[in-house]
């Protein structure tokens, strides 16, 4: 019983860290992966750098974005640079 009482604070600390730090990070990572998997041609997006544009095409690792500022140019970005799909 004394052993359990001695490790109880450590168990509580680990549990609190899980619910305050690890679990939210896992949920956010899952949401980002789902968003990248559901990206489609023609989606309006925002990159992590703040660039707004339209998805022209994409492959496993890259996405090709057309912006108003670039005119007819298509910019190539890593898919991990996707921050948000604007609905």
Structure confidence at residue 62 as a pLDDT band (50, 70, 90): very high
Q: What is the pLDDT of residue 70?
A: 64
**Exposure class string for 58-75: b at 16+ Cβ within 10 A, else e:** beeeebbbeeeeeeeeee
**Banded model confidence at residue 1, pLDDT cuts 50, 70, 90:** confident
Please tell me the pTM assigned to this model: 0.70
Average of per-residue pLDDT values in the chain: 91
Nearest to 62 by CA among 44, 32, 48, 82: 82
The residue segments making up the domain with residue 76 are: 1-85
Q: Is the per-residue pLDDT at 3 higher than 90? A: no
Number of independent structural domains in the chain: 1
Domain of residue 16, CATH code: 2.30.30
Scanning the structure block, which residue is given the tokens 């549990």?
15
């Amino acid at each position: 019983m004394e052993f359990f009482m001695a490790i109880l604070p450590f168990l509580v600390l680990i549990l609190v860290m899980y619910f305050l730090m690890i679990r939210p990070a896992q949920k956010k990572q899952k949401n980002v992966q789902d968003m990248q998997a559901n990206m489609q041609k023609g989606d309006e997006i925002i990159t992590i750098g703040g660039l707004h544009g339209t998805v022209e095409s994409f492959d496993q690792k890259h996405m090709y974005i057309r912006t108003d500022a670039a005119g007819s140019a298509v910019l190539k970005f890593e898919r991990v640079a996707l921050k948000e799909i604007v609905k």
